[in-house]
Amino acid sequence: MQLQILAVGDVVAEGGLRHLEKNLRPLKKLKDIAFTVVNGENAAGVGLTREQAERIYDAGADVVTLGNHTFGKMQIAEALDDLPWLLRPANFTGRAPGRGCSIYDVNGLRVRVLNLIGRCDLSWGADNPFAAADKCLKEGQADITLVDFHAEATSEKLAMGYYLDGRVSALWGTHTHVPTADERVYPKGTGYLTDLGMTGPVESVLGVEPRQSVEHFLGGLPGRYRSPEGPCKLQGAVFTVDSATGLCTAVERLDIR
């Protein structure tokens, strides 16, 4: 059986959240989606609250993944322990609350989701994500494995694609908020995309008000990020996965305005 798996890029601020709430269910119906993973690390701009995590889940996500802004709102720490569908990067150190890898039952199919964070120009204190991936893949049995690799460097993401090729169903990148045009199936059957993009305001710099971003680059005073009002986009990808082999046969990029 061919299953459609949807991955959605970083949801940014209230605008992105509302756009997700409005568009996710119709999109899932249109594309016959069996399982949905949404990156929620920017729902509060930097981090997310429990309420925002629950809104993403209620909007139709099966799993919410995070990244370098996991603890932007410290109150999420408790929710990470409570909510089985909320994942933070698995290669955070052992002192972090919550989990980064879990297996979910989807009508009898075992779907493993793994959230990793990159170290290049991002999270130098994290454990090696390649070794962490090996460790997670040894925990339990799954029919399908999905990986959200939250990373800055395209090289680190591409290398992870080759490292996990044939061992996971799909691997996509998040974090840069800019989608890449390299969706493909790797030689041994892993569906891949370097970055999904984001779910947030179209007229923005990665979700931040353009004027504020320009001021920052001009050397002006720093300030709390403001996300602009206005039309939003939902960016992500659909991976077609064969449930018998656990491998991917097609990848389609999405940009829903």
Distance (Å, rounded) from C-alpha 72 to C-alpha 51?
14
Does 42 participate in binding Fe ion (rule CB under 5 A)?
A: yes
Does 156 participate in binding Fe ion (rule CB under 5 A)?
A: no
Does 15 participate in binding Fe ion (rule CB under 5 A)?
A: no
Amino acid at position 3, single letter: L
| Site string (158-177) toward Fe ion, x via CB under 5 A | -----------------x--
Contacts with Fe ion: how many residues (CB under 5 A)? Answer: 6
Distance (Å, rounded) from C-alpha 9 to C-alpha 234?
7
Quote the least distance from Cβ 154 to Fe ion, whole Å: 14
Does 10 participate in binding Fe ion (rule CB under 5 A)?
A: yes
Give catalytic status of residue 69 as yes or no: yes
Judged by beta carbon, residue 10 or residue 127, the one nearer Fe ion is: 10
Distance (Å, rounded) from C-alpha 60 to C-alpha 25?
6
- Among 68, 91, 169, 194, the residue binding Fe ion under the rule CB under 5 A is 68
Distance (Å, rounded) from C-alpha 231 to C-alpha 228?
9
Quote the least distance from Cβ 197 to Fe ion, whole Å: 10
Tokens standing for 122?
A: 């991002």
Distance (Å, rounded) from C-alpha 52 to C-alpha 35?
20
Distance (Å, rounded) from C-alpha 214 to C-alpha 235?
24
Judged by beta carbon, residue 149 or residue 186, the one nearer Fe ion is: 149
Tokens standing for 73?
A: 């709102």
Give the binding site for Fe ion (CB under 5 A). Answer: 10, 41-42, 67-68, 175
Residues with a known catalytic role:
69
